[in-house]
Amino acid sequence: MIVFDEVTFTYDGASAPVFGSTSLELGEGGLHLVVGATGSGKSTLLGLCNGHVPHFTGGFVEGKVTVDGKSIEHARPRDFAEFVGMVRQNPRSSFVADTVAHELVYAMENLGWSRAAMRTRLDEILEQLQLGDLANRPLNQLSGGQAQRVAIGAALAAKPRLLILDEPTSGLDIDTAQGVLNLLVNTVTNDGLTVVLSEHRLERVVGLAQQVVVVDRGVVHTGEPSTMMAMSPVVPPIIDLARCQGFAPLPLTVDAARVHRAVLMERLQSHQPEVPRVQREEVVAEVDDVTISYLGRCAIKNVTVTLHRGEVVALVGPNGAGKSTLLGLLSGLAVPTSGSVRVDGDAPTTLRPMQLVKRVGLIPQDPGLVLYGTSVERECSEADHDAGREPGTTALWFRRFQPEVDVVRHPRDLSEGQRLCLALAVIMATAPPLILLDEPTCGLDNAAKEHLGDVLTGLAREGTSVVVATHDVEFMAEIADRIIVLSNGSVVADGPARLVISRGDAPAPQIFELTSPEPWLTTGEVLAALARQP
């Protein structure tokens, strides 16, 4: 189906190839998972499968990529349209039409389907993706999960035999992501479709894959999931634990790991997870009985939250539960309809921008939005200037977060993780007592996530209050001292992380699923406890 024959790919102007002399063959049927760190070339590999790379990105291909017997050298993506369906990151940016129905039929129109055939197929797709009542909905009114389903539907509409997806569940909450993945698995089993997908949150998909492709520092390996997971540079927490403990055969899911539970729990019997003490004394921000209604709908209602110096708070809940609104409220971007907000003593909406940033810093989901400089260096000096700090303050923060980044690089050319750290350094220039992050782990690989976790907990231990809105259960488990669960605009649970998770109010991380009812949350704390054993 897809054959790479001694392929070396180099982007224009790059000194080293993304990957060198790679040979690989993906057969018909099944779900193939592409795994690798950020910037390892996963997207490049996927893009080569319909000629998107190099026709739209530039770059030089040595060797031969053959898809459906056609070489991508001469054929353009449009020539593969009836064979390959492509879903790229961020579905909204790939929409070409105005309503769901028009978006879904677009490929069929281009390929010259008859009107009757289009109508039949449209009904099939609407039913298969559970989009029936949305057919005439404008695309800009879809929720995240709906938008992702429409993008998948649009790629599937012209009945391709191969579907390629680049991180289809990033940005989706747990239930929605699970829905999208189940749908893909159903299509694979029912329609005999071949699916190739890349994903950062491996815990969601690795148990479903038939074959895994690992892209690691310019080398591509293919094989069975368990053999590949044994060597992969990125693995989900349960596999990490299993690898460290030498479980054999390597379990890919929590269920598979349960056979080892009894032994593990016995060894952990006399231990407690080490919990850092957080002094909840000094109040940094207070949200008092706030309701925001917008066009007759409550974005959040009667929310009361108090934030203390030095704690890391995870804000969780499904898409649209009001997480971003609460962050907006704390940062002065959203105005309360009733109730009051105080950050460091003042209502954020009454403060001038300059006063505001000394009290609270917000990093939006796309950190690029707060970066304007043409190089890291200039970004830092501008931030010093904006904040009225001594030259070098921001640069110092950035070096602390990312010691090895070349400061002449353009912020756009940094990796997601590095860009996030730059935005964090810019925000920290004014040394606000409260920092807020909206979905910071979208597009971060495990290593970058771990690094960000260390950076944030480090800041918290020095007295900054950190609030992170996230869908990422494992990240939440790693960093949170306290979890606030939002649902439909209301706070449904608020308390110490371990308590909220063990009561089942917040989604459970993999390690807790294995060890429950004992409250172990992360691989790190389990391994630390085992290491303390005599």
Contact residues toward other proteins (CB under 8 A) are 50, 52, 55-56, 76-82, 84, 86, 88, 93-96, 98-99, 101-102, 105-115, 118-119, 122-123, 126, 132, 135-138, 141, 154-155, 158, 331-333, 353-354, 356-358, 361-362, 364, 369-370, 372, 383, 386-387, 426-427, 430
Q: Tell me the closest approach of the beta carbon of residue 113 to other proteins, in angstroms.
A: 6
Which residue, 216 or 366, has its beta carbon nearer to other proteins?
Answer: 366
Q: Tell me the closest approach of the beta carbon of residue 458 to other proteins, in angstroms.
A: 22
Q: Tell me the closest approach of the beta carbon of residue 105 to other proteins, in angstroms.
A: 4
138: DSSP letter = B
Structural contact between residues 437 and 427, judged by C-beta atoms closer than 8 angstroms: no
Which residue, 166 or 173, has its beta carbon nearer to other proteins?
Answer: 166
- Chain centroid offset of residue 74 CA: 35
Structural contact between residues 483 and 311, judged by C-beta atoms closer than 8 angstroms: no
Q: Distance (Å, rounded) from C-alpha 409 to C-alpha 439?
A: 25
Q: Tell me the closest approach of the beta carbon of residue 471 to other proteins, in angstroms.
A: 21
Q: What are the b/e assignments for 311-325, b being 16+ CB within 10 Å?
A: bbbbbbbbbbbbbbb
Peptide bond into 391 cis (omega under 30): no
**Other beta carbons within 10 Å of 222:** 18
Angle, CA 335 vertex, CA 332 and CA 336 arms, to 5°:
120
Which residue, 158 or 460, has its beta carbon nearer to other proteins?
Answer: 158
How many CA atoms lie within 13 Å of 199's alpha carbon, on the beta-carbon side? 28
Which residue, 37 or 101, has its beta carbon nearer to other proteins?
Answer: 101
Which residue, 153 or 237, has its beta carbon nearer to other proteins?
Answer: 153
Which residue, 27 or 388, has its beta carbon nearer to other proteins?
Answer: 388
507: DSSP letter = P
Q: Tell me the closest approach of the beta carbon of residue 477 to other proteins, in angstroms.
A: 28
Q: Tell me the closest approach of the beta carbon of residue 396 to other proteins, in angstroms.
A: 18
DSSP string for residues in 339-375: EEEEETTB-GGGS-HHHHHTTEEEE-SSGGGG---SS
Q: Distance (Å, rounded) from C-alpha 102 to C-alpha 463?
A: 52
Which residue, 100 or 229, has its beta carbon nearer to other proteins?
Answer: 100
Which residue, 90 or 516, has its beta carbon nearer to other proteins?
Answer: 90
Q: Tell me the closest approach of the beta carbon of residue 531 to other proteins, in angstroms.
A: 42
Strands (E), 75-228: 84-87, 162-166, 194-198, 211-216, 219-223
Q: What one-letter code names the amino acid at 348?
A: P
Q: Tell me the closest approach of the beta carbon of residue 521 to other proteins, in angstroms.
A: 31
Which residue, 82 or 518, has its beta carbon nearer to other proteins?
Answer: 82
- Chain centroid offset of residue 461 CA: 25
Q: Tell me the closest approach of the beta carbon of residue 262 to other proteins, in angstroms.
A: 50
Which residue, 108 or 316, has its beta carbon nearer to other proteins?
Answer: 108
Close Cβ partners of 133 (under 8 Å, ≥ 6 residues apart): none
Q: Tell me the closest approach of the beta carbon of residue 378 to other proteins, in angstroms.
A: 12
Close Cβ partners of 341 (under 8 Å, ≥ 6 residues apart): 285, 286, 287, 288, 290, 329, 330, 347, 348, 349
